Chains A and B, each alone.
Chain A
């Protein structure tokens, strides 16, 4: 990797925010930049590279980067490695920062100062920001900034990131440190002078970076912490030795063996209900608007190829992307709430044991949960899983979680084919079918993970050890900003792809035009029809005809295209220009017998397992760095989809006939 040594004076100075997870670093970053920042690539949880700028005292501005939370400079997970690489200027496309702002949590000084002590050893110019002074005060902790500043030979500022307390002081210290950068004189201060270790440490930087043997790691760790404990005792005071953080009754209930799981089921039950219920109205509004626009344009524009392209290709294509926005926004809103409140860690605590049984880690829970909205952010958030083999397992099964793009497929088919019966008067059969599809995906994922870990992935030490963030009231501003980032990246990534697909599809379904003497279905002679007819023998055992064949082929780049394709095919089919809903058309076909309920179920099963998403494959390639795993994902999912669908249709035919 190229080391960037370009020290052009014209570049703005760059500042890196470094600190433990949950030290309030991101809140500080948002506060300093006024939430005006840009996120490079997909925003996972806090993994994406966030960059903004701040104005310095005395004019000028500096670039500021929010780094992922880390406990040590040589962390094992990918985002922890990124921190070390970026700080040393070894990360491609990033300059070595001119200043490190180390953020520490005042209520947890010991653990937070470990990283600071490593940063000092590495010789970075540092400004120390002691955050959460309000929480510390509540816990009876007093920090003497002057003493700490002298002991560490660093500028120290006390702040409360949530209320922006202390920001002017911090900006002043940052500006001053940028003008005259200097590193602390307290390198290796933790090392007793005549200690034997000194001999084994050839250079000072090696302590934090070299591969040391286990005995040395423990010895250095003990010495560092002994020094830190003494330092904290000297520079702060605590009202009581213990009892400052006693887990609350609520926390105990959320993680209790008796109540934990029921509470979790209720919470996720409510979230799923909300996603479907709340999203319904905005989704209907969006599709009605798109349809209205389409017919308005059709009436306004002169008849011709271009009009047809716009009203049958582009507008419905864009509409199909927009229609997901309400669901994605609601899902990310809830994930944001759960994450910011600290509940997600409790859920991991409850699920870890079970997830290990199938070969996953508790940590895979968050990526898999995100994958119910979209596998793309799901796969990206696997970066927080330190072990590569566990990470691969999570990536490979993430697309089996029924994402929001499958929902329109399920919704249309269920509405058209599953009767609106209430089982026992309370549970709707339609709802049960939908839940069944989600469960099928989850069960499939568990089996695949188990087989992967057993047969394909090497055994690797995986660790769970993590800090439980305190339960607290989530900050709405943070949650909403997360929703905004995620929706924006979804739109950016999905719109271009789906737009292109709908244009290609429109072309394939409309050309070549049939002879004027041809009386049959015009789609049948089009390129799409020919392709569908060509694969019909292969999909006939699944209960699919050539029309479904076209829809499946066209939705390999993105599932949601399925609904558009079917509408396109059927509306092209209709001689009368009535604007029939797809559901009504499907019900008609059911009555005429060329689209049975069993076919619909088989089709849904196919969609549960099939890998029909170009964005997922693209992200998989980028995150695994291997075409093998990417094609592996595509191959195993397509095979699984075919086999499961085949079994569904064949066994179903035997039972019902």
Chain B
């Protein structure tokens, strides 16, 4: 597929932790979205997972996936591989 694109914006935040390593109850601010298929990127962005958004991890499934996060007025459910595209700053 043609849509795996590198997102240059991310390179400057190399050392930051990823959303999939966060524990339940942790509050974080999204700093960037790493290289990620364009369709997934569109989806994440349209749902509000953009840099500057603050989210709280509310729940994790068996072996840590899916990972549920609270953003705005509702809970989003992501697979851990998807959460691995999201760089965060713990708050």
Please give the residue numbers on chain A whose beta carbons come within 8 Å of chain B beta carbons, in ascending order: 71-72, 74-76, 105, 107-111, 114-115, 139, 141, 211, 213-215, 217-222, 225-226, 242, 244-245, 247, 252, 255, 257, 345, 348-350, 352-354, 356, 362, 386, 460-461, 463-470
Which chain B residue lies CB-closest to A219? B9
User: Which residues of the other chain, B, contact A352 by a CB distance below 8 angstroms?
Assistant: 61, 65-66, 79
* 0/1 string, B20-43, CB within 8 A of A gives 1: 000000000000110111111111
User: How many whole Å from B31's CB to the nearest CB in chain A?
Assistant: 11
User: How many whole Å from A131's CB to the nearest CB in chain B?
Assistant: 13
Which chain A residue lies CB-closest to B6? A214
| 24 A-B residue pairings within 8 Å (CB atoms) | A72-B43, A107-B73, A107-B74, A110-B73, A111-B47, A111-B72, A115-B46, A214-B6, A214-B35, A214-B38, A217-B38, A221-B45, A221-B50, A225-B48, A242-B56, A247-B59, A352-B66, A463-B39, A463-B82, A464-B77, A465-B82, A467-B75, A468-B76, A470-B74
Which chain A residue lies CB-closest to B60? A257
Question: Do A72 and B73 touch (CB < 8 A)?
Answer: no
Known: A226-B52, A362-B66, A467-B74. A214 touches B46 (CB 8 A): no
Question: Do A467 and B73 touch (CB < 8 A)?
Answer: no
Partner pick for A465 among B5, B43, B70, CB 8 A cutoff? B43
Partner pick for A247 among B66, B72, B75, CB 8 A cutoff? B75
Question: Do A71 and B50 touch (CB < 8 A)?
Answer: no
Which chain B residue lies CB-closest to A345? B77
The 4 closest A-B pairs by CB, nearest first: A221-B45, A72-B46, A108-B73, A464-B79
Known: A71-B46, A464-B66. A218 touches B72 (CB 8 A): no
Partner pick for B48 among A75, A110, A141, A247, CB 8 A cutoff? A110
User: How many whole Å from B22's CB to the nearest CB in chain A?
Assistant: 16
Please give the residue numbers on chain B whose beta carbons come within 8 Å of chain A beta carbons, in ascending order: 1, 3-9, 32-33, 35-48, 50-53, 56, 58-59, 61-63, 65-66, 68, 70-79, 82
Q: A350–B68 Cα gap in the complex (Å)? A: 12
Partner pick for A466 among B42, B63, B77, CB 8 A cutoff? B77
Q: Which of B32, B61, B71 has the most CB of A within 10 A?
A: B61
Which chain A residue lies CB-closest to B72? A110
Question: Do A222 and B48 touch (CB < 8 A)?
Answer: no
Q: A235–B66 Cα gap in the complex (Å)? A: 34
Q: Which of A215, A220, A469 has the most CB of B within 10 A?
A: A215
Known: A245-B70, A349-B66, A467-B74. A76 touches B39 (CB 8 A): yes
Main secondary structure of the interface of B (DSSP, over half): mixed
Q: A467–B76 Cα gap in the complex (Å)? A: 4
Question: Do B77 and A105 touch (CB < 8 A)?
Answer: no
Known: A222-B51, A386-B39. A114 touches B46 (CB 8 A): yes
Partner pick for B47 among A141, A255, A465, A469, CB 8 A cutoff? A465
Question: Do A353 and B62 touch (CB < 8 A)?
Answer: yes
User: How many whole Å from A96's CB to the nearest CB in chain B?
Assistant: 23
Question: Do A218 and B45 touch (CB < 8 A)?
Answer: yes
User: Which residues of the other chain, B, contact A139 by a CB distance below 8 angstroms?
Assistant: 73
Question: Do B77 and A465 touch (CB < 8 A)?
Answer: yes
* Apart from A215-B9, A464-B78, A468-B68, 16 more pairs, CB < 8 Å: A76-B43, A107-B74, A110-B73, A114-B46, A214-B6, A218-B41, A218-B45, A221-B50, A245-B70, A255-B59, A349-B59, A353-B62, A461-B4, A464-B66, A465-B47, A466-B77
Q: A167–B74 Cα gap in the complex (Å)? A: 26
User: Which residues of the other chain, B, contact A108 by a CB distance below 8 angstroms?
Assistant: 72-74
Q: A345–B82 Cα gap in the complex (Å)? A: 18
Which chain B residue lies CB-closest to A226? B52
User: Which residues of the other chain, A, contact B61 by a CB distance below 8 angstroms?
Assistant: 255, 257, 349-350, 352-353
Q: A72–B48 Cα gap in the complex (Å)? A: 11
User: Which residues of the other chain, A, contact B43 by a CB distance below 8 angstroms?
Assistant: 71-72, 75-76, 386, 463, 465
User: How many whole Å from A253's CB to the nearest CB in chain B?
Assistant: 12
User: Which residues of the other chain, B, contact A345 by a CB distance below 8 angstroms?
Assistant: 77
Known: A217-B41, A353-B63, A362-B66. A109 touches B73 (CB 8 A): yes
Which chain A residue lies CB-closest to B73? A108
User: How many whole Å from A257's CB to the nearest CB in chain B?
Assistant: 6
User: Which residues of the other chain, B, contact A362 by a CB distance below 8 angstroms?
Assistant: 66
Partner pick for B5 among A75, A213, A252, A350, CB 8 A cutoff? A213
Q: A226–B50 Cα gap in the complex (Å)? A: 9
Question: Do A221 and B46 touch (CB < 8 A)?
Answer: yes
Question: Do A466 and B76 touch (CB < 8 A)?
Answer: yes
Question: Do B76 and A465 touch (CB < 8 A)?
Answer: yes
Question: Do A217 and B82 touch (CB < 8 A)?
Answer: no
User: Which residues of the other chain, B, contact A247 by a CB distance below 8 angstroms?
Assistant: 58-59, 75
Question: Do B7 and A218 touch (CB < 8 A)?
Answer: yes
Question: Do B82 and A218 touch (CB < 8 A)?
Answer: no
Question: Do A105 and B73 touch (CB < 8 A)?
Answer: yes
Q: A222–B46 Cα gap in the complex (Å)? A: 10
Question: Do A214 and B68 touch (CB < 8 A)?
Answer: no
Which chain B residue lies CB-closest to A135? B73
Known: A349-B68, A352-B65. A463 touches B74 (CB 8 A): no
Which chain A residue lies CB-closest to B8? A215
Known: A72-B42, A214-B5, A225-B52. A464 touches B82 (CB 8 A): yes
Q: A115–B66 Cα gap in the complex (Å)? A: 25
User: Which residues of the other chain, A, contact B79 by a CB distance below 8 angstroms?
Assistant: 352, 356, 463-465
User: How many whole Å from A93's CB to the nearest CB in chain B?
Assistant: 27
User: How many whole Å from B25's CB to the nearest CB in chain A?
Assistant: 12
Q: A242–B8 Cα gap in the complex (Å)? A: 33
Q: A111–B46 Cα gap in the complex (Å)? A: 8
User: How many whole Å from B15's CB to the nearest CB in chain A?
Assistant: 19
Q: A214–B51 Cα gap in the complex (Å)? A: 14
User: How many whole Å from A57's CB to the nearest CB in chain B?
Assistant: 32
Q: A356–B81 Cα gap in the complex (Å)? A: 12
Question: Do A214 and B47 touch (CB < 8 A)?
Answer: no
Question: Do A467 and B47 touch (CB < 8 A)?
Answer: yes
Which chain B residue lies CB-closest to A460? B1
